[in-house]
Amino acid sequence: MKSKKILMVGRWGKTHALGKAIVEKSSQNTELFCYMDKENPGLLSLVIDYKVGNMKDNDDIAKYAKYLDVDYVIAVPHMSLRTDIADYMDENGIKCIGPNKRCSKLETSKNFLRNILKKTDLGVSPKHFLFTSKEEAIEHIKNIDYDFAVKPVGVTEGDGVKVVGIQLEDKKEAISYTKEVFDKNIGGIPQVLIEEKLIGREYTIQTFVDEKVAWGMPATRDYKLLYEGERGINTPGMGSISFPNHLLPFLSKDEYYYSLDIISKVLHYLKDNYGDIYKGFLSGQFIKTKNGIKVIEFNVRPGDSEILNIIPILETDFVEICDAILQHRLKEMKIVYENKATVCKYVVGEGFPHSEDNMIMDIDEEGIKEGGGELFYSCFKVRKNVYEPSPRGVAVTAKGDNLTEAHDLCEKLINENITGDKIWHREDIGTLELLNKHRLD
Q: What is the residue-averaged pLDDT of the chain?
A: 94
Amino acid 439: pLDDT: 59
Query: pLDDT tens-digit profile of 116-145?
Result: 999 988 899 988 899 999 999 999 999 998
The boundaries of every CATH 3.30.470.20 domain in the chain are 201-435
Q: How confident is the model at residue 246 (pLDDT cuts 50, 70, 90)?
A: very high
User: What would the mean pLDDT of 408-436 be, rounded to a whole number?
Assistant: 96
Per residue in 60-84, pLDDT (tens digit) is 999 999 999 999 999 999 889 889 9
pLDDT at 159: 65
CATH number of 201-435: 3.30.470.20
Residue 154 — pLDDT band, cuts 50, 70, 90? confident
Residue 24's pLDDT is: 94
Report whether pLDDT(242) > 90: yes
pTM, entire model:
0.94
Q: Above 80 in pLDDT, residue 1?
A: no
CA distances from 153 to 167, 185, 189, 195, 306 (A): 18, 10, 6, 11, 23
Four-way CATH pick for 128-196: 3.40.50.150, 3.30.70.1150, 3.30.1490.20, 3.40.50.11540: 3.30.1490.20
Lowest mean pLDDT, pick from 235-244, 282-291, 341-350, 432-441: 432-441
Residues of the chain with CATH 3.30.1490.20: 128-196
CATH 3.30.70.1560 fits 4-100, yes or no: no
CATH 3.40.50.20 placement within the chain = 4-100
